[in-house]
Structure 1
């Protein structure tokens, strides 16, 4: 009987996050299923595709995922190579062992499973996700060019208005208003460019369940432990729409040291979701935010 790849997912992990992945025999796979802390992780766990589980992949690319279900039961999810998803509930681990054995022998009976009619996106719950973050130069360029286009459009509007010789009130107030917006856009463009130059070589590898994360710049990547963090400060508006690329996330360690990351590297809300039990404070006052942005832009 062949060896299949298997991997573990615990209740603190996010979609696509797995550990202890390796090729195992049937006997070793049954052993990790037996020793998995099912009862411990069953408490307050949502019943869904991502959760405490053991995932097995055969040589053809089919997946069998053993997870939790209501009433102390177990849920088996089967995903074939055509992304068809099936589900089967079993009361005891000994029943799970039988299905896993059939999976290894290539004789799994899908007639016992219930087929999901909608399975779009299901594969992301079985495959490994990447938790690496780097600056997207293309996205930066598109954002920068769009801002320049907006700036030119406003300058053109001001010029057209002045040439058309409108009434005095309109001819004075409206150009001043547009020029103020132009100055704001220029300021934002300047900061964005400085942020990009400061961050373009940054690297971050961070997931929710792993207590260790990597962060560095210019190929000097270091490992950090979440347990060494005192608190996290976020400078900038709390927003669920778009990505506030000029927000600053500051990780403060218990020894007084710290590191700073921009929203340009990782969305702030995504970032703080990786640190479930660490105190996070938001600073949104303009004076605090601008001071933090200027310091980061200057490399402080």
Structure 2
């Protein structure tokens, strides 16, 4: 029997892996936490393992979660240390409490639980995620180095064409090179400049908390989402990940403090989701190739 187990709360506006009020609690304290949880107010959203509820971490690196289900019912999830997920449904919270008591006493029976056939990735619904975002240096350096083979292939094709192709084909290919090469080089330069500027930045941001922590590589400082005055977004926000690396987000707070970071740190679409739709966002330099925001870095 465990005297105390670690428990934590997940609300419906939290992200997967986001929890609060995590601490060791006795069985009685845990049952009181379950009783005081606003079940009715938290219904109407996800009824899967990432839904709102109370998560308890067992001594065998296993987890029990009491969560919401359809029709005012409850789900009790059990995740064993091997990642196998089981679930049990009930309309009586007292029955769910008994499952919690059995879990504390190491007497939980899975005979009336339904086992999930697929078990990949369920652990991420129960464990804490750090929510620190930073530049993936290996990925970005690899991305920049991958541009070199394309340039070499292009030059090699130009050399082959100059020997075996008619003059008009060579002129056409040379003109195409003259037009596209500056764009290619500028794109590579932009990626490198943004990388060099942001490689040591880190940002802590979750959907369910008002706090923002930003580290520019020299020191970190805390801010509040509720203090955001507006956001200036330089570059395209809602396109594929590969084209928003150099999109720059400038967050301006009511006290005139600002923080700036690129899509290399946090994808713009995810950033917008996390700060909330009520924030005023100015979309700038949406279709500008040679962006002033990058030149000024």
What TM-score, normalized to structure 1? 0.92
Secondary structure at the aligned position of 2:177 is classed as helix
Secondary structure at the aligned position of 1:265 is classed as coil
Per the alignment, residue 39 of structure 2 pairs with 38
- Structure 1 residue 222 corresponds to structure 2 residue 221: yes
Distance (Å, rounded) in 2 between the aligned partners of 1:191 and 1:35: 53
Tell me how large the CA RMSD over aligned residues is: 1.8
- Structure 1 residue 119 corresponds to structure 2 residue 145: no
- Residue pairs, 1:190-205, within 5 angstroms: 190-205=189-204
Distance (Å, rounded) in 1 between the aligned partners of 2:105 and 2:149: 62
Judge conservation of contact 1:236–1:289 (CA < 8 Å) in 2.
Answer: no
Per the alignment, residue 234 of structure 1 pairs with 233
Of residues 185-194 and 6-15 in structure 1, the stretch that sits farther from structure 2 once superposed is 185-194
Secondary structure at the aligned position of 2:64 is classed as strand
Per the alignment, residue 10 of structure 1 pairs with 11
- Residue pairs, 1:251-262, within 5 angstroms: 251-262=251-262
Distance (Å, rounded) in 2 between the aligned partners of 1:20 and 1:7: 5
- Residue pairs, 1:1-300, within 5 angstroms: 1-2=1-2, 3-42=4-43, 44-164=44-164, 166-237=165-236, 238-242=238-242, 244-277=244-277, 278-283=279-284, 285-287=286-288, 290-295=291-296, 298=297
Secondary structure at the aligned position of 1:39 is classed as coil
Distance (Å, rounded) in 1 between the aligned partners of 2:93 and 2:285: 51
CA displacement at 1:239 relative to structure 2:
0.7
Distance (Å, rounded) in 2 between the aligned partners of 1:289 and 1:148: 21
Secondary structure at the aligned position of 2:275 is classed as coil
What TM-score, normalized to structure 2? 0.93
Q: Could you say if the C-alpha distance between residues 177 and 46 of structure 1 is closer, same or farther in structure 2, counting changes exceeding 3 Å? A: same
Judge conservation of contact 2:193–2:294 (CA < 8 Å) in 1.
Answer: no
Give a deviation string over 1:111-162, Cα, whole Å, max 9, x none: 1111111121111101111211222221121111111221222122223323
**Shift >3 Å, 4+ stretches:** 240-243, 279-285
Distance (Å, rounded) in 2 between the aligned partners of 1:243 and 1:54: 39
Number of aligned residues: 294
* Unaligned ranges ≥5, structure 1: none
Secondary structure at the aligned position of 1:51 is classed as coil
CA displacement at 1:241 relative to structure 2:
4.9
Judge conservation of contact 2:158–2:170 (CA < 8 Å) in 1.
Answer: no
Give a deviation string over 1:234-258, Cα, whole Å, max 9, x none: 2222214546211111212233432
CA displacement at 1:200 relative to structure 2:
1.3
Of residues 166-175 and 121-130 in structure 1, the stretch that sits farther from structure 2 once superposed is 166-175
CA displacement at 1:232 relative to structure 2:
2.4
Distance (Å, rounded) in 2 between the aligned partners of 1:100 and 1:94: 10
Judge conservation of contact 2:285–2:291 (CA < 8 Å) in 1.
Answer: no
Q: Could you say if the C-alpha distance between residues 252 and 11 of structure 1 is closer, same or farther in structure 2, counting changes exceeding 3 Å? A: same
Secondary structure at the aligned position of 1:274 is classed as helix
Distance (Å, rounded) in 2 between the aligned partners of 1:275 and 1:230: 12
Judge conservation of contact 2:241–2:267 (CA < 8 Å) in 1.
Answer: no
Secondary structure at the aligned position of 1:152 is classed as helix
Give a deviation string over 1:2-35, Cα, whole Å, max 9, x none: 2111111011100111111111110111111111
Q: Could you say if the C-alpha distance between residues 202 and 105 of structure 1 is closer, same or farther in structure 2, counting changes exceeding 3 Å? A: same
Structure showing the higher helix proportion among its residues: 1
Distance (Å, rounded) in 2 between the aligned partners of 1:15 and 1:77: 15
Distance (Å, rounded) in 2 between the aligned partners of 1:119 and 1:208: 26
